[in-house]
Amino acid sequence: MAERADDAIRVLVVDDHALFRRGLEVTLQLEPDILVVGEAGDGGEALAKAGELLPDVVLMDVRMPRRSGIEACTAIKQAVPSARIVMLTVSDDEADLYEAIKAGASGYLLKEIAADELAGSIRAVHGGQSLINPSLASKLLTEFASMSRRGAGSQSVPTPRLTAREMEVLRAVARGLNNREIAKELFISENTVKNHIRNILEKLQLHSRMEAVVYAVREKLLEIT
């Protein structure tokens, strides 16, 4: 087992399959900067453990008995606002994906993810990034575009003006790119990307990158085919 760093990222693992929880714990034990502080088998237990353990990151399945991961996500974000929640699931259903983002999830990853990628994803989410792989981002945007065409959730309020560069960054976020990839594509620094994203969220009065994408598609700020 790796020697644990004093400032290790505290992780709560939530899944209704004990064997899968154990597998995650064994995998993450190899990372010196990640510490699994607890586990839970359903959404209700996850909420109780989150309040007790105050994890930095919660890895949580979407579909569980008694209380789903999405219901638990909403409750955990209210109880422990600092916790970053990553939905780790076999479901690539657009509705699950959309509801998870609405509930405040910072990431949505499929369980087929490689072990080394999972650790990197935990670090990225803990560092403030939102994670969704490009194929799922495409599904999400298709769902939002369909909602936009149906007029779902449209608002009759003035839309805050984003600069041309902010719109470029927002489109890149919508495609599932992380800060480093956005910086490389737009020939700017990662710090500049972070500043743009912070400004976008402040202008739109939102809390996460994916919420900004939801808003932008709904208000037809992004042209999605």
Most confident of 40-49, 91-100, 205-214: 40-49
pLDDT band at 54 (very low <50, low <70, confident <90, very high): very high
Per-residue pLDDT of 109-153, as tens digits, reads 888 888 788 999 899 888 877 777 666 666 666 666 666 565 554
Give the mean pLDDT of 35-60.
95
pLDDT band at 1 (very low <50, low <70, confident <90, very high): very low
Q: Does domain 155-218 have CATH number 3.40.190.10?
A: no
Identify the sign of the CA torsion 214, 216, 219, 222. negative
Provide the CA 5 distance to its chain's centre, in angstroms: 25
Tokens for 130?
Answer: 């939102």
The mean predicted confidence, pLDDT, of the chain is 83
**Integer Cα distance of 192 and 198 in angstroms:** 10
**Integer Cα distance of 76 and 69 in angstroms:** 10
Q: pTM of the full predicted structure? A: 0.69
Cβ-based neighbour number of residue 154 at 10 Å: 12
pLDDT tops 50 at residue 157: no
Amino acid at 187: F
User: Which residue ranges make up each domain of the chain?
Assistant: 9-132, 155-218
Per-residue pLDDT of 11-32, as tens digits, reads 999 999 999 999 999 999 999 9
pLDDT of residue 134: 62
Q: Which residues pair with 131 in a beta bridge?
A: 107
**Integer Cα distance of 70 and 19 in angstroms:** 21
Ordered DSSP codes for 149-209: HHTTT---SPPPPPPHHHHHHHHHHHTT--HHHHHHHHT--HHHHHHHHHHHHHHHT-SSH
The CATH number of 9-132 is: 3.40.50.2300
Give the mean pLDDT of 174-188.
87
